[in-house]
């Protein structure tokens, strides 16, 4: 497979770790081998990569040549050729294994028009792929069962403040998710123009608050699906 300069090196063993794709090659060496290391490693690396592929990482180990053990080193070279052959067969199998096609998790929307809140610069994903995480995510669908809820909340000064939130179901045609939007003075009038069966693209976080898990909306675009 590769040619050694027998003046300086004798092959001892090869150990291959499949999980990390690391091939460790061990060599017996003479006392004056250091000047030849770079050429030696370059030559062997090129030979192995030609056979097994560039993704194999190679580590080199060097040990002093034991006196009177040249025959043992030669026997080790013959034995470990089988390990190297097994490595090449594995690499060939990996190269020939078809890669599973990636799953498109996005939703196709058109005519996106800014409506309120945070801007949306990401493509929406299908609702079935949204998991509670607290991370910001974008999805899209049709509004169903839209309801307004008026309530009061105690402010920092101890006084009650009137608040409003909206709840609805968002349906992307295959799955649904429960949404909530907390109205603000700036966007309340625009949100109230939305009605059932309006198609929207939304950005928000899907997480648990109290006993409920809702998609809390922070931005809305009108769109078509």
pLDDT of residue 6: 54
Which pTM value belongs to this model?
A: 0.55
For the chain, give every residue range classified as CATH 2.40.50.140. Answer: 110-224
Q: At what angle do helices 37-52 and 70-96 cross, to 10 degrees?
A: 40
Q: Which residue has the higher pLDDT, 33 or 153?
A: 153
Confidence of residue 25 (pLDDT cuts 50, 70, 90): confident
pLDDT of residue 41: 77
- CATH class as words, domain 110-224: mainly beta
Counting Cα atoms < 13 Å in the Cβ hemisphere of 20 gives 9
Distance CA 95, CA 92 (A): 5
pLDDT of residue 167: 94
How confident is the model over 164-211, as pLDDT tens digits?
A: 999 999 999 999 999 999 988 889 999 999 999 999 999 999 887 777
Residue from 122, 105, 162, 168 nearest 142 by CA: 168
Locus of tokens 């026997």: 75
Token output for 156: 């920092």
Residue from 25, 219, 3, 10 nearest 122 by CA: 219
Q: Give φ, ψ of 95 to 5 degrees.
A: -65, -30
pLDDT of residue 72: 47
């Amino acid at each position: 497979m590769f040619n050694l300069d027998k003046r300086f090196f004798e092959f001892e063993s090869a150990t291959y770790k499949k999980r990390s794709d690391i091939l460790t090659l061990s060599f017996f060496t003479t006392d004056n081998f250091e000047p030849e290391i770079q050429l030696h490693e370059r030559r062997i690396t090129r030979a192995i990569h030609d056979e097994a592929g560039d993704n194999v990482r190679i580590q080199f180990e060097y040990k002093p040549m034991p006196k009177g053990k040249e025959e043992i080193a030669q026997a080790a070279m013959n034995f470990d050729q089988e390990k190297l052959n097994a490595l090449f067969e594995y690499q060939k199998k990996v190269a020939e294994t078809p890669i599973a096609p990636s799953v498109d998790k996005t939703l196709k929307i058109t005519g996106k028009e800014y409506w309120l809140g945070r801007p949306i610069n990401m493509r929406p994903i299908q609702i079935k792929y949204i998991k509670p995480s607290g991370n910001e995510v974008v999805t899209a669908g049709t509004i169903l069962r839209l309801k307004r809820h008026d309530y009061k909340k105690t402010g920092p000064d101890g006084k009650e403040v009137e608040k409003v939130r909206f709840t609805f179901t968002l349906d992307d045609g295959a799955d649904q998710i429960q949404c909530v939007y907390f109205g603000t003075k700036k966007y309340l009038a625009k949100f109230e123009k939305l009605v059932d069966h309006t198609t929207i693209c939304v950005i928000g976080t899907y997480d648990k608050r109290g006993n409920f898990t809702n998609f809390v909306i922070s931005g809305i675009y009108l769109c078509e699906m």
